[in-house]
A and B are shown apart, each in its own frame.
Chain A
Amino acid sequence: MSGRAPALAVLWPAERAGEVVPGEDAERGEPALRALYGLPGTAPGGRWVRANMVSSLDGAAWGPDASTRSIGSPADLRVLKLLRAAADVVLVGAGTVRAEGYGLLRAGTELAVVSRSGRLLGGQGLLRAERDDGRSALVVTCAGAGAAALADLRAAVGDERVVVAGDEQVDLPRALGALAERGLRQVLCEGGPALLRDLLGAGLLDELCLTWSPLLAGGDAGRLLADGGPLVRPARLAHLLHAEGTLVGRWLLG
């Protein structure tokens, strides 16, 4: 993907409408964009959980290729990079890791894969044995994965890289607590829809960053949130930006 960074125009809040976060000159543009996505500092024991998702206009969370690549855009990518750089850890479901082909992130941002079954994700450079630098993903799982799977997992990523939280299901409050104890307090969740639903349902999500790409996707793609019964949460718009037809918003849920 090219490094082209399109300018982003502020549409909302109204009093800032017309401001433009410069595009090509990333040196000038990034501080302005960072300020728009600024986070409160984290208190001892505190954390911040933000989700970043992309959607087609008709609400598809991925395109016909079963990944977000077909519905993303340069503007989306620009924000995604910024949010990753601002995060201590990117939290993502195992299904999304497979669908999107995640690799490890730049040094400074951990990748934590949530997997109830604890099944290994080999061949993507996420395991210690696959890498020269000895890094690996963190794996968040539960006791229900079973002793054998947990042992395999520990062998593959290292003992200290496995977070076991919960019995039959991953206990997300405990998992986030365990990540915070490692100093990973600024959490960026990139889906998928089941993980996002669970975070929201547990009241753990502080904000949603959502990009609407200017296209319709049809098909049988899922929504941003997997079904888990009725759930209504108010969201307050913090800002709405525009670039090349793409709308980029930030909503506060906390």
Chain B
Amino acid sequence: MSEPTTGGSTLTEGLPPALAEIVDDFNAVSERDRLQLLLEFSEGLPALPERYAEHLELMEPVPECQSPVFLLTEVDDDGVVHLHFSAPREAPTTRGFAGILREGLDGLPAPELLATPDDISSRLGLERAVSPLRLRGMAGMLGRIKRQVREKTAA
């Protein structure tokens, strides 16, 4: 089922362009380098804007991540989604997943974001290096992002 394939169109099928590029990048390198790449996404996660930094209670916790992760989506007047994450530096894997979602999904129109396949966490080639629980944490983040966007775009 999760046979490693490289540059496969099936891996990027249905993904928005930025996320497809990230998936390609992960699958183009060795398992060891994938972990390094994940760390880079962890380090690249932008800080929360001030209006949320001191107000985590405004954000949604993601218990699936088991470490303290919070997220919030905003849909602007043009229907474009903006994503905000708080994930501890002490949990670089989980924080890396947040970084991937932020870079891959931020700035998308809501309908495109909602069309993102749910199995993104299994397309990064990390099944052997990262425990299933952590991968489920990433799926949990995506599920909550979509639910928030659905709620915020419901007329």
A residues sitting closer than 8 Å to B (CB atoms) are 38-48, 173, 201-204, 206-207, 232-234, 236, 238, 252-254
Contacts and interface: CB of A to CB of B under 8 A. Distances in A.
Given A40-B89, A45-B61, 11 more contacts: A39-B90, A40-B91, A43-B61, A43-B62, A43-B68, A43-B70, A46-B65, A46-B66, A206-B90, A253-B93, A254-B93
B128 interface: yes
A252 B134 CA distance: 13
B90 A254 contact: yes
A254 B128 contact: no
Nearest to A201: B131
Contacts, number: 70
Given A40-B91, A254-B91, A234 B63 contact: no
A238 B66 contact: no
Interface in B6-64: 35, 39, 61-63
Q: Tell me if A's interface is mostly helix, strand, loop or mixed.
A: loop
B129 interface: yes
A252 B92 contact: yes
Interface string B66-77: 111110000000
B1 to A, nearest CB: 19
Identify the interface centre among A43, A234, A236: most chain B CB within 10 Å of its CB. Answer: A43
B112 to A, nearest CB: 29
Interface in B63-122: 63, 65-70, 88-94
B63 A48 contact: no
Contacts of A203: 130-134
Given A44-B61, A234-B129, A236-B39, A204 B91 contact: no
Interface of B: 35, 39, 61-63, 65-70, 88-94, 128-134
Contacts of B61: 43-46
18 contacts: A38-B90, A40-B89, A40-B90, A43-B61, A43-B63, A43-B68, A44-B63, A46-B61, A46-B63, A48-B68, A173-B133, A203-B130, A207-B90, A232-B128, A232-B129, A234-B129, A236-B92, A253-B93
A45 B39 contact: no
A46 B67 contact: yes
A38 B90 CA distance: 9
A107 to B, nearest CB: 26
A190 B53 CA distance: 34
B68 A40 contact: yes
Nearest to B36: A234
Contacts of A47: 66-67
A5 B27 CA distance: 48
Identify the interface centre among B61, B62, B67, B89: most chain A CB within 10 Å of its CB. Answer: B67
Contact of B69 (A43, A207, A238): A43
Contacts of B129: 232-234
Contacts of B68: 40-43, 46, 48
A198 to B, nearest CB: 12
B128 to A, nearest CB: 7
A4 to B, nearest CB: 30
A171 to B, nearest CB: 13
Nearest to B136: A203
Nearest to A46: B68
Contact of A40 (B67, B130, B131, B134): B67
- For the complex of A and B, list the 10 residue pairs with the smallest distance between their C-beta atoms, beginning with the closest: A203-B131, A45-B63, A40-B88, A203-B133, A43-B68, A254-B91, A43-B61, A46-B68, A234-B35, A40-B68
A254 B134 contact: yes
Identify the interface centre among A40, A45, A46, A47: most chain B CB within 10 Å of its CB. Answer: A46
Nearest to B61: A43
A48 B88 CA distance: 11
